[in-house]
Chain A
Amino acid sequence: MSEHVDGRLDPEHERLLSEHLAACPDCRRELEALQATVAGLREIPPVEPPADLARSVRARLERPSLPVLAWQVLSLPQTRVAVAAGIALVIGFLSLREMAQRGPEDCARPVPGPGRAPGKPAPAALPMPHTGDEAPAPQPLESAPELKRVGEPARETAPVGGSVDAVREAGRRRAADAAATRPAKAGKRLPEADRHVGTVPQQPKTEGRPGNAVIKGRGRRSFGRGSAEANGRVWGSKAPAPRPEEARKSGTGLSVGPATPVAPLRDAHARSLTPFAAPAGAGAPDSEAGAAPQGMTTPRPFPAMRARAGADRAVVREIAVVSADPAAVRARILAWQRRDKTARAAEEPKLKKETALGAAVTRAETVAERAGVVEIDLPSGDADRLVAELRELGTVSFGVEEQALRDSAARYPARKKQDAAAQQVRVVTLRITIRKARPPSRPAD
C-alpha cells in the first residue's frame, strides 16, 4: 500500500490491489488512513534554518582545526622554551631519583684535580697531577708520608703498618667507635636513617689514615669526597687548603677542585639530619660541630644516598694481603670489581650507564692502588671467592669484621628473585690492604 500511495506499484500489482480494495472495506480504511498520514507528512512545512547559518559555517571554517591549532601553538617560541624547560626538569628529576636509588657510590663523580680542566679525564694508571712543584708525589703505602688532619684522633694518624696486627687493631678501634656512636637500641632493627650511624664514622677513619685514599668499589660519589680530600692530602700541598668561607672571602677559590663550592651546601644539608649531624665531641671526627679538619672539605652524600650506603655496606671485612706481587693482587681485585659491575649491569639496566663513567672508576681505582687500600663491594659468595683467589697470590690476614646483615635486594633485584629462600643478599665490603712482601732480611754481618 505504501508503494501504491507513492504511485510506485507496477500495473500488475496495481490491478490486484484495486480488485482487493474493492472487495475489502478494512483494507480500504487502512489505505485511506495511510493516505491521510502521508498527506499529513507532506504538509509539514519545512523548518526555517537559522539566519546566520552560512555565516557561522564560514566562521567555523576560518577557525583552525584542532590539529592545526595544536601545531600553531607548538610552533610558538614560548611553547618551545616551555617544552624544553619541562623536558629539562623531568630529566633532572629522573637523574636525581636515579642517583638517589643507586646510592652514593654510583652517583659521585671524580673531582678534577687542581690545574686540570673540569671534565677532562686524567690519564689512567698515570701519576695524578700535583698542585705544585713542592707537592710530593703520592707514595706507595710502604713509604707514604704521614699526613695529619687537624682534629683527627691520634689513632687515625698512626700509620697502618704492614703487620696484620695493626690492621686488626685498627678494625677493633673502629668497631668500638661505631658501637659508641650507635644508639642504645642498636640491638633492634633500626630505622633507615639510624642505621647509618654505625657506618658514618668509618669513612673519616680510613680517610684520615695517611696515605690511604679509600675508594669504594663503585663509589663515585664517595670518590668525589675522597678525591677532594685526597687533593688536600695526597696530591696537594701539605699545607692545609683554605676553608671554603675563607676562600670565598679572599676570592682566590679553593684548591680542592670544583666540588668544594658545593660542599657547604651539602654540609648544611647534612647538619639538618639528626643522625649525621653529630654534636661537638660526639665522637665523629669530621663533624662540623666538632673538630673539622682544616683545609679539608667534608662533603656528605644526600640522605637517600647515605641510606643506600647503609643498606649495601652491610658487612665490612678487613683484609690484609701481603704478596710478592701487589700488582697482581690489585689486578685480581679490579677484575672482580668489573665482573661484579657487569653482573649488576645485567640485572639493572640503569647501571649500564656506568660504562660512560668507566674512566672515573679507573681513576678511582688508580688512586686506590697507589694508596694501598682497596674497598670492593661484593655479594658474600663472590667475596669469599675473591678471598680464596687472593690466598693464592699471597698471605691473607683478617681483621675485624663488622656484621650488620641487611637487605640489599634493592641492589640485586634479580638475585632476590633467584634466591627466594633467603630473600636477602649479603653485600660484603672487603677493605683490602695490599702490601708487598718484604724480602727476607739478611742476617747482620
Chain B
Amino acid sequence: MLAFEDIVHAFEVPVFNLAYRMVNNRDDAADVSQEIFVKLFRAIRQFRGESKFSTWLFSLAANTCRSRLRRLRRISFFEARHIDEERETDSGSRTRELPDPSDGPVRMMERGEMRHEIERAVAALQPDWRMVVVLRDLQGLRYEEIAGILNCSVGTVKSRLSRARSKLKERLIRKGLSCSAGK
C-alpha cells in the first residue's frame, strides 16, 4: 500500500489535471481521479510493461474520463458559459473583466486574461480534440505517447491537435486576445 501511495503522489497532479480539464469541475475531477487510481490499483497486475507505465496510466485515465463524460452528459460548452459568470476565488468573488482589444498580449497575459480565455476555449473544445490538446500542450506528452494513450495513429493525433489549436486560435482572435500577429 505504501508503494501505491507513492504512485498516487507521483501521478496525482497530471491525472487530476487531465480529469479536471476533461470534466471541467473540480469535484468531479477529484472523484474521477479517485476512480482512476482505484482502477489502477485493481488492474495493476494487468500491466505487462509493453508501454511506459505513465502511458498505461494515462490510457486508463483517458478512458475513465470518457466514461464519466458520457455519464455526466456534461458538455464543456455549458461549463464554458459558466466561466463568464461570477467566480469564487481565494480573494473573493469577482466578475471577469472584458478584454480591451487595444491591450497587447503581454499586458493581457499579465492580467491573466489570456490564460483564462484559453482555459475557456479549451473547455469549449470537443472532447477528442480537448484530450489531445491537454495531453500535448498541458501535459507535455509526445505524439507517440498520445497515440498510445488514445489508441490511435500518430497522424490522427497530429490532425486532432492541428484542428484543436486552429480552433483555439480562431476563438482567441475573435475575442481579440491573440492579436499579436497583427501588431
Residues of A within 8 A of B (CB): 1-3, 5-6, 8, 28-34, 36-38, 40-44, 46-50, 53-54, 56-58, 60-61
Contact = CB atoms under 8 A, between A and B. Distances in A.
B87 to A, nearest CB: 14
Contact of B115 (A36, A44, A53): A44
B38 A37 contact: no
B165 A2 contact: yes
B144 to A, nearest CB: 11
B118 A2 contact: no
B30 A50 contact: yes
A56 B180 contact: no
Given A30-B181, A41-B133, A36 B105 contact: yes
B158 A41 contact: no
Contact of B138 (A3, A33, A42, A58): A42
Interface stretch (B11-19, B51-59, B76-84, B91-99): B11-19
A42 B162 CA distance: 15
Closest 7 pairs (CB-CB, A-B): A49-B16, A29-B181, A32-B181, A2-B162, A41-B137, A33-B181, A54-B8
Interface of B: 1, 5, 8-9, 12-17, 20, 26, 29-30, 33-34, 37-38, 41, 105, 109, 114-115, 118-119, 122, 133, 136-138, 140, 143, 158, 161-162, 165-166, 168-169, 172-173, 178-182
Question: Which residue among A3, A28, A46, A49 has the maximum number of chain B CB atoms within 10 Å of its CB?
Answer: A49
Contacts of B161: 2
Given A41-B122, A49-B12, A33 B34 contact: no
- The interface residues of chain B, by DSSP majority, are classed as helix
Nearest to B36: A57
Contact of B37 (A38, A40, A57): A57
A49 B30 contact: yes
Given A2-B165, A33-B179, A49-B12, 7 more contacts: A32-B180, A36-B180, A40-B178, A49-B17, A50-B30, A53-B37, A58-B1
B118 A37 contact: yes
Given A28-B181, A36-B178, A41 B168 contact: yes
A5 to B, nearest CB: 8
Contact of B169 (A34, A50, A53): A34
A61 B119 CA distance: 33
B137 A42 contact: yes
A43 B30 contact: no
Given A8-B143, A44-B118, A47-B20, A34 B165 contact: yes
Contacts of B109: 40, 43
Given A2-B158, A57-B34, A47 B8 contact: no
B5 A54 contact: yes
A430 B119 CA distance: 91
A49 B33 contact: yes
Contacts of A53: 8, 12, 16, 30, 33-34, 37
A8 B17 CA distance: 25
A57 B8 contact: yes
A37 B26 CA distance: 24
A6 to B, nearest CB: 8
A39 to B, nearest CB: 9
Contact of A34 (B13, B14, B38, B166): B166
A185 B80 CA distance: 79
Nearest to B9: A54
Nearest to A26: B181
B44 to A, nearest CB: 11
A34 B169 CA distance: 6
A56 B179 CA distance: 44
24 contacts: A2-B158, A2-B166, A28-B181, A31-B181, A32-B181, A33-B173, A33-B178, A37-B168, A37-B172, A40-B178, A41-B122, A43-B109, A44-B115, A44-B118, A47-B20, A47-B29, A48-B13, A49-B16, A50-B16, A53-B12, A53-B16, A53-B33, A53-B34, A57-B41
